[in-house]
Amino acid sequence: MKKIQISPSILSADFSQLGNEIKRLEEGGADMIHVDVMDGHFVPNLTIGPPVIKALKKHCSIKFDVHLMISPVHKYIEVYADAGADIITIHPEATENLGESILKIKSLNKKVGVSLNPDSKLNLITNYLEKIDLVLIMSVNPGFGGQKFMPEVLSKVRQLNEIKSNKNMNFDIEIDGGINFDNCQSAIEAGANILVSGTTIFKSNNGDIKKNINLLKLK
């Protein structure tokens, strides 16, 4: 199994101190930075755009794991690539042609992620698994931070891990939504190797980021 990586979500950071918050994450041992981009259309909230990502990237030497919850997504891929995204994750429902959008991300020399909402079926992406680097399984309905983990999505993680193993594929399985110290082990056991967490990393143990990251890795 791949080593467990932690991708802290800056959705739970202090937005008035984002540059410093990212430095704290990097010093605390984060493997990458998870950036949730929401458009108020595909999901019911608005967050940050390319100028903020570009500014934050200057403060950070680790990868930016950018989750685009925007529709239509295809025409914005290049803008986020230029802003500094290292991994660009999109939803199949947000593009008219998932294959074309995957090729677009690859053409910009970025890693490709595809995300599935709790109600999205695995067969939306099974034909594309050989072409992508990461599958992001949402364990909450996207749009807001601080929601409760939905354990029923773990069956999707297990199915995905089984396909990956049987076909000797190499994509990462990331999970995002309500990940904390109580459920991280079940997510890892199901097959996830990248955990996205916001509230737990920033708020638990009096904000001891390093400790919280290590606890999520089950160290």
Active site residues: 36, 176
Q: Which residue type is seen at 45? A: N
| Closest by Cα among 56, 93, 46, 48 to 74 | 93
Inter-helix orientation angle 50-57/18-27, to 10°: 50
Q: Which residue type is seen at 40? A: G
What CA–CA distance (Å, rounded) separates 196 from 216?
A: 10
Q: Which residue type is seen at 211? A: K
Q: What is the DSSP letter of 114?
A: E
Query: For residue 91, what are the contacts with CB-CB under 8 A and spacing of at least 6?
Result: 42, 68, 69, 71, 73, 114, 115, 116, 117, 120
